[in-house]
Structure 1
Amino acid sequence: MKNILKLFTLSIVVTLSSCEDFLDKTPLDDVSEVDFYSTPGDLRASVNAFYNDLPSWSNTSVGFSVLPDLDSDMGVAENINSRLSGQTGVATESSNSVWSWDEVREVNWLLDHVDQAEGDQTEIDQYIGEAYFFRAYYYFNLLVDYGDLPILDRYFDNNDEAYLFAGREPRNEVADFILGDLSTAISLLQSFPDIATSPRISKEAALLLKARIALYEGTWEKYHSGTAFGVEGSNGSAFLQIAADTSEELIDSGVFTLHSDYATLFNQVGLSGNSEVMLWRDFNNDLGFNNSIQISWPNRCAYTREAIRTYLCTDGDPISVSDLYDDGDKSLATIEDNRDPRLAALIMVPGDLIKRDTDGSTVAYTAPDFATANAGLTGYESEKYRNIDIDPNTSDFTLNTSKVIMRFAEALLIYAEAKAELGTITQADLEKSVNKLRTRVGMPGITLGAITTDPDWPNYGYTLSDVLYEIRRERTVELMAEGFRLDDLLRWRAHELVNGTTPRGAYFYDGIVNSDTPESNVTLDSEGYIAPFINSAPYNFDETKAYLLPIPSNELILNPNLLPQNPGW
């Protein structure tokens, strides 16, 4: 592990809304415990460092940003997802992104020194609570990747062999440790309305993370039961109950409500005052902190046909049975007709605006850009996250579009899924959760006992109750391209859903092609649908090992107590 510290930012106390780089690192041996961690301001400056590790826009070195989830079955980028395609290998050494414990170690250092602080106890508790939140956040990322983990609950140096050579504890015990940290955070953090400067971690954000993690572990243990990845003697119900109870506490608190317009949630400059968004990043290009998301549209990634076909018709029925699905998906110009309005918020179709200038003039979208290799990719380009307004200060697209990190809608989805998994869901539960999401966009709600059977319900490799199929659909649609999809496939043990398939896109010969489109840039399947990877091997997720990543080989040599290696590796 590196002997570095991202906590130490001595000169200024800054806020997340400026997205200042907090990553100035000072060797631990140079940190003066006497001079630092003595005031609430010191703790604030220290914990600010961890905010940089929350999700932001994914920038690349070639001028475009891959949107969340557009390397899964719901979307594709320039290259097919290596994990889904079975191309992941064993790393020889750990790194910043592989089996990295730097962040946990840094939080532990801070937590071991917070007792030095004197001053307003409410402020001190807030920053201690944030530290516990981040330790849980980092640990959860490791749990998703590796399963069983060492539990490192305090800072230690190179002489502490008990911790240096700690073995791995069962994943359910690790999950208990993580949820314990979040319970501590919840007891210390202020409620969102009481925090003077936002966005900061609030009690409600900790409740949502606790519910998210409990749902993950509960469904993981349920669907991996009896496999090498399961937890002996557990069906996940205890964690599912925690997920249901915690999300219900957040819902019933009334602190957050759904924003009135789904489509405008994702392209705003500044999210302060939004009733739904619980945690976010703001950007200010004038100060040099920009998101770069608008540099290049299209951004060489796009949605799949599978994603588009998930959306219901406006009568509440799936496309496989609804009379409203007259034209099918053969025309991009009409594909949004009579469909869940969230589809119109997701993809570009002819007539959508690409640009609105400061003088009010506009430029409309006509067709996917296939003229540049990989630009259109599947033909389903993203409307979500586009901010079409030109910034008068730069005469270009704004670089200040905010990034949603946590929003209240997720709590509604967690509650419904956990209750359905437990087999205790009622119509009243649906009304207080997912039906609110459908009402927002003008869609019919889910009614127990009256759910239309979809002959094309996803093949997860097992059958579900009708209500669970629809709750999973609702989660997929509501959270499309927000970074949840791969984790959902993992916890649902859904390899059958992808194996043997190749991502498909739009129907090519539907009038979307213009004279500038070279067919040489587009590969099609036998039915005329765009198939960007048809000449590559199909998805081949290896269910015997790929549900977890392998621990780097050098770590197993350095610490044999980490053995056994994860299954299959």
Structure 2
Amino acid sequence: MKRNILYIILFSAALQSACNKDFLDRQPPYAYSNESLWKSQGDAQAALNGCYKDWEGDYTLLYMDAVSDNMYSQYYWEGYTDYGNGNITPANTSASKRWSYTSIQKCNWFLENVDKTQMDETLKTQFKSEARFLRAYQYFTLTQLYGDVPLAKNTVTTEEANTISRTAATEVRKFVLDELAAIAPTLPVSYSGSDVGRITQGAALSLKARLELYDKNYAACIADCKKIMTLGYELFPNYQNLFRIQNENNKEVILDVQYKENDYPNADIGVMPSSSFGGWGSLDPTQALVDAYEMKNGKLITDPTSGYSENDPYNNRDPRLTATIVCPGQLYEGKYYNSIQNTSGDYYNGDNNSKTAYIPKKFTSNLSDYTDMWNTGLNMIVIRYAEILLTYAEAQIESGIIDNTVYDAIDAIRTRAGMPAVDRTVYNTVDKMRTLVRRERRVELALEGLRWYDVQRWKIGTAVRSGTVYGARLGTVDPTNGKLTLSGDHIAVEQRTFVENRDYLWPVPQAERDINKNLTQNPGY
């Protein structure tokens, strides 16, 4: 698909809205070209490629964990700080740009016009299914963030956009499920060549399973996971290398956003490293996330028999910790990272440095992979097979069915990372297995944009997203060997509040309600 990216750029320019500030991209200025556009399969494919632009992006995937207890976003103008600390209001939502119907309007326009094209009908059906998936994905995301949202199944005029009301989230989500069920059989299991990265049958089933898990429809979720397990996906053998650019489109990846250096770049890798590595330190992992990782022997750090030491806290931990987060004293890019000593260029209190003293490593484990980390071709994974295994395990656990398949699914993920298999003498009840699978989801999928949705659906916001956000302990790092000498307290980064009956949903942007008086507001805002 990367060879088709230029089509996306060129065609998307023709798919931009003519009006400003309304919740929908209004009457598109491309209508004049309808008669001349739909003449060939190439025309239809160019139009479909335009639909792929803006359906999801590296920025939103990276920043969503800052809404949760996993990350802190230190620059409010980047759009996510106030969502994370509970200070968001309807008036200051514009930076996140999540209330958007751009992709939906493009897909609706494509679906209304593609039948004019003389082309192979089977391929045309596939093209339609791809567009229907992209639209369904947007509606899934909108309902997760805002609850009730307008459901537009066709292109919307200016007048309609100014008066349309919110549709119940249950109805919108039923529409999404129905769409995914209908299109899955019409999509290929895989692609080759320049089509790699397009929507597959596995992507449709995986999004369906994700929604079913979130909505506690466990039986349907289990059935879809079992279908996905027959499609040939498998865990990539090395957890850290899974996220490197040379290993993209591997057999673990079910759905990703495709990028191409220079033409359609992933331009946000640089927000993660701190200043001495040329980055901004924008997204900072929290101490709470670091503490979630077990010891390498499979015991919790709170277990007095685990071997954990507060003075050597990163030693003998789950290998996914140092594959995901650069901790003080860790060898990174040829030097021992030192963010806890005020003589260091990466000191937490310096400009463009992480305020928690931790920086993400998951997508930057080797900065030499990129000629320019602000202009990369690194694809961003949206769904991967490890999530499906965890989804299956959770759905089984919540159904009260804890059999060997549940342990096997979790064990596959743990042993791939270098962790021991689940101790079945310890994790032998629904409550204990629920705790385990929730922790596995957190550490396995950390920094991939899913943690907030887990906090939201488990209703644990008050417990995990209120109070003080902490970073690493202060001290010194020996530059010759990385040895830590910790003598200070943990860094206090920010205070967060969480209102139980308000903060599980985001506010509808006031700018949209000023235009459309029929848009109601979520409770508490």
* TM-score scaled by length of structure 2: 0.82
Cα distance change on mapping 1:543 and 1:292 into 2, 3 Å: closer
Counterparts of 1:84-483 in structure 2, within 5 Å, are 84-91=84-91, 97=97, 99-158=99-158, 165-193=163-191, 197-218=195-216, 239-251=217-229, 253-269=230-246, 271-272=248-249, 274-285=250-261, 287=263, 289=265, 291-294=267-270, 297-298=273-274, 299-300=280-281, 301-321=283-303, 323-328=305-310, 330-331=311-312, 335-349=313-327, 352-355=330-333, 363-368=334-339, 369-370=346-347, 372-373=350-351, 375-388=353-366, 390=368, 399-431=376-408, 433-447=409-423, 450-451=426-427, 465-483=431-449
Cα distance change on mapping 1:415 and 1:190 into 2, 3 Å: same
Matched AA of 1:343: L
Gaps of 5+ in 1: 1-11, 60-64, 219-238, 356-362, 454-463, 515-523
Matched AA of 1:44: Q
2:504 maps to 1:547: yes
d(CA) in 2 for partners of 1:13, 1:383: 25
Matched AA of 2:173: A
In the other structure, the counterpart of 2:12 is 23
d(CA) in 2 for partners of 1:466, 1:344: 26
Instruction: For residue 471 of structure 2, give the secondary structure of its aligned residue in structure 1.
Output: coil
Contact 1:316 1:444 in 2 (8 A): yes
Aligned residues: 491
Once the two structures are TM-superposed, the CA of residue 260 in structure 1 deviates from its matched residue by 0.3
Cα distance change on mapping 1:467 and 1:295 into 2, 3 Å: closer
Contact 2:5 2:263 in 1 (8 A): no
Cα distance change on mapping 1:541 and 1:513 into 2, 3 Å: farther
In the other structure, the counterpart of 1:567 is 523
Instruction: For residue 436 of structure 1, give the secondary structure of its aligned residue in structure 2.
Output: helix
d(CA) in 2 for partners of 1:243, 1:450: 27
Instruction: For residue 467 of structure 2, give the secondary structure of its aligned residue in structure 1.
Output: coil
Instruction: For residue 406 of structure 1, give the secondary structure of its aligned residue in structure 2.
Output: strand
Matched AA of 1:100: S
Once the two structures are TM-superposed, the CA of residue 68 in structure 1 deviates from its matched residue by 5.2
d(CA) in 2 for partners of 1:499, 1:103: 31
Identity %: 29
In the other structure, the counterpart of 1:231 is none
Contact 1:506 1:530 in 2 (8 A): yes
d(CA) in 1 for partners of 2:459, 2:330: 37
d(CA) in 1 for partners of 2:92, 2:236: 47
Structure 1 residues 16-25 or 79-88, which shifts more? 16-25
Matched AA of 2:227: E
In the other structure, the counterpart of 2:43 is 42
Instruction: For residue 468 of structure 1, give the secondary structure of its aligned residue in structure 2.
Output: helix
Once the two structures are TM-superposed, the CA of residue 504 in structure 1 deviates from its matched residue by 0.9
Instruction: For residue 345 of structure 1, give the secondary structure of its aligned residue in structure 2.
Output: helix
* TM-score scaled by length of structure 1: 0.77
Contact 2:326 2:337 in 1 (8 A): no
The counterpart of 1:72, out of the listed 41, 60, 68, is: 68
Matched AA of 1:123: L
Instruction: For residue 33 of structure 1, give the secondary structure of its aligned residue in structure 2.
Output: helix
Once the two structures are TM-superposed, the CA of residue 181 in structure 1 deviates from its matched residue by 1.4
Once the two structures are TM-superposed, the CA of residue 16 in structure 1 deviates from its matched residue by 4.3
Contact 1:167 1:562 in 2 (8 A): yes
Matched AA of 1:531: A
Spell out, residue by residue over 1:436-469, the C-alpha distance to the aligned partner (whole angstroms, 9 max, x if none): 101212322335552299xxxxxxxxxx811111
Gaps of 5+ in 2: 16-27, 275-279, 340-345, 480-485
Cα distance change on mapping 1:478 and 1:47 into 2, 3 Å: same
Contact 2:465 2:497 in 1 (8 A): yes
CA RMSD of aligned residues (A): 3.5
Matched AA of 2:183: A
Spell out, residue by residue over 1:20-49, the C-alpha distance to the aligned partner (whole angstroms, 9 max, x if none): 465303544643333223433222211212
Counterparts of 1:476-515 in structure 2, within 5 Å, are 476-509=442-475, 511-512=476-477
Once the two structures are TM-superposed, the CA of residue 177 in structure 1 deviates from its matched residue by 0.5
Instruction: For residue 44 of structure 1, give the secondary structure of its aligned residue in structure 2.
Output: helix
d(CA) in 1 for partners of 2:292, 2:271: 30
Cα distance change on mapping 1:470 and 1:379 into 2, 3 Å: same
Contact 2:68 2:455 in 1 (8 A): no
d(CA) in 2 for partners of 1:286, 1:175: 37
d(CA) in 2 for partners of 1:400, 1:554: 34
Structure with more of its chain in helix, by fraction: 2
d(CA) in 2 for partners of 1:73, 1:199: 31
Once the two structures are TM-superposed, the CA of residue 104 in structure 1 deviates from its matched residue by 1.9
Contact 2:243 2:363 in 1 (8 A): yes
Matched AA of 2:179: D
Contact 1:149 1:169 in 2 (8 A): yes
d(CA) in 1 for partners of 2:178, 2:388: 19
d(CA) in 1 for partners of 2:488, 2:183: 54
